[in-house]
Amino acid sequence: MDTDILTILDFIGVISFTISGSLVAARKDMDYLGVCILGIVTAVGGGATRDIIIGSVPPLMFRNPTYVTVAFIVSNIVFFFLYFHLSGKSKPKMNHIFGKTLFWFDTIGLASFTVNGVIVGQTMTDGGLFLCAFLGVITGVGGGVLRDLLANEVPAIFVRHIYALASVAGAILTCLLWKTSQFAAISAGLVSVILIRFLAKTYEWNLPHIHKA
């Protein structure tokens, strides 16, 4: 497996999820430190959880601080951009901007890290379907779960637009195609996650809820 592809997915996921976490922090009116912490945790939380599961300790974020550094820089860019360009804007307008931007960066991060987790599973474990798919999903959704918990929100994987299910579908598809063609597996995994999230958002697909009387 070309390590360049894994590195590219790493950086796409880190940047996308950092922006996602920073936007959530800003929407919650957190200060500079809150924006940085939430951005970094969202970016590296899923990968750290994956590394612990497979016994790769300390997690990569500590052995190679490049990703934390990138997340810190990106969260600063987001903070100061929002501070100078959106301060004083009406809350409805800010919520609209945050909603659309958050959706796309969250989706791109989810797709990148889901496939990334499967690749790590295929290269560092026995390559079993269940384990590799699980690692893909936990890498994809782990950072977002930590972000939402720190922001005092119900994690998105439980409430919104087929979030976790998109990651599950992408991870399984990547696993099934891996031995046929790694390029096809990666491409199909990325496209499936993004497409399912887009369709779910567009047509307001959600899993069944238990509605209170």
In a domain, 208, yes or no: no
Predicted pLDDT of residue 8: 93
pLDDT at 159 over 90: no
| Structural domain containing residue 67 | 3-202
Is this structure's pTM higher than 0.85?
yes
CA-angle at 189, arms to 59 and 17, nearest 5°: 45
Predicted pLDDT of residue 4: 83
pLDDT at 42 over 80: yes
Predicted pLDDT of residue 158: 85
- Tokens 């922001």: give the residue: 151
pLDDT at 136 over 90: yes
163 Cβ partners below 8 Å, 6+ apart?
A: 110, 141, 144, 156, 157, 197
pLDDT (average), residues 191-199: 97
Give me the percent of the chain exceeding a pLDDT of 70: 92
In a domain, 164, yes or no: yes
Predicted pLDDT of residue 170: 98
In a domain, 159, yes or no: yes
Predicted pLDDT of residue 162: 85
Among 119, 148, 108, smallest CA distance to 21 is for 148
In a domain, 114, yes or no: yes
In a domain, 209, yes or no: no
Compute the chain's Rg from CA coordinates: 17
Predicted pLDDT of residue 127: 80
Give me the percent of the chain exceeding a pLDDT of 90: 74
In a domain, 207, yes or no: no
Question: What's the pLDDT tens digit per position in 75-134?
Answer: 999 999 988 877 666 666 666 667 889 999 999 999 999 999 999 999 998 888 999 999
Long-range contacts of 198-207 (CB under 8 A, 24+ apart): 198/107, 200/161, 200/162, 200/166, 201/103, 201/161, 204/161, 205/161, 205/162, 206/159, 206/160, 206/161, 206/162, 207/162, 207/165
Residue type, 176: L
With bands split at pLDDT 50, 70 and 90, how would you rate the model's confidence at 210? confident
pLDDT at 1 over 60: no
Give yes or no for a contact between 109 and 170, defined as CB atoms under 8 angstroms apart: no
Q: How many structural domains does the chain have?
A: 1
In a domain, 106, yes or no: yes
In a domain, 213, yes or no: no
